Amino acid sequence: MLVCPVHAVFLDVEVPDEWKSYIGVNADFFRQNKPRQEIGLDRATRMADAIRAFASRSGLAVAAVVLDGNGGRLAAVCLDGADSLVLEQAEKKAYTALSYGVATHELRPSSKPLWLSPESIDPARVLMAGGGYPVVTGAETIGAIGVAGAPTAAEDIRCCQAAFAL
């Protein structure tokens, strides 16, 4: 049995210099051996359908986008009255939630991403406005949802939350 002594556990920003070379070794091990979770097309479609149903019942003309963990579009819905600009905003909100790892209404202009380096984020795809949520399983962000087009950010947020009520 291999046991890690308590005195050998550090926050990533507190690793002593003598152990820093093991950060990459540890990361490589988990990249190779940890099974990758995925949101999947079926779940993404059901989430988009749930948003459509909620928005229709609420009389909201919104667009919604569900992204996979790499930022690729899995599903999208555009209700009557929502145009392509609104769909683009929804995708940007989803990308922002995915990249920063938190709901977009929690972000401030000074916010930093939780897991990614700022240089790895495409600023042209970022929109820090309420209506984006990461999809998280365990401790892994496997995708994101973005909604735009409602009269208020609070209504965009409620539409996003409808996708999680499955």
Residue 2 has what pLDDT?
54
Residue pointed to by tokens 């949520």? 133
Number of domains composing the chain: 1
Q: Is 40 helix (H, G, I), strand (E, B) or coil?
A: coil
> Looking at the domain assignment, is residue 140 inside a domain?
yes
**58: CATH:** 3.30.450.150
The mean pLDDT value of the chain amounts to 89
How many Cβ atoms sit within 10 Å of the Cβ of residue 127?
20
Tell me which H or E stretch contains 99.
helix 84-100
> Looking at the domain assignment, is residue 13 inside a domain?
no
Summarised one tens digit per residue, pLDDT across range 130-162 is 999 999 988 789 999 999 999 999 999 999 999
Residue 8 has what pLDDT?
67
Q: Which two tokens stand for residue 29?
A: 């091990």
Residue among 50, 66, 46 at smallest CA distance from 58: 50
**How far apart are the C-alpha atoms of 44 and 160, rounded to whole Å?**
12
> Looking at the domain assignment, is residue 20 inside a domain?
no
List 63's β-bridge partners, or say none.
Answer: 78, 148
Q: What string of pLDDT tens digits covers the 166 residues of the chain? A: 555 555 667 776 778 888 788 878 877 787 777 767 889 999 999 999 999 999 999 999 999 999 999 999 999 999 998 888 999 999 999 999 999 999 999 999 888 888 788 888 999 999 999 999 999 988 789 999 999 999 999 999 999 999 998 7
Q: Which domain holds residue 146?
A: 41-163
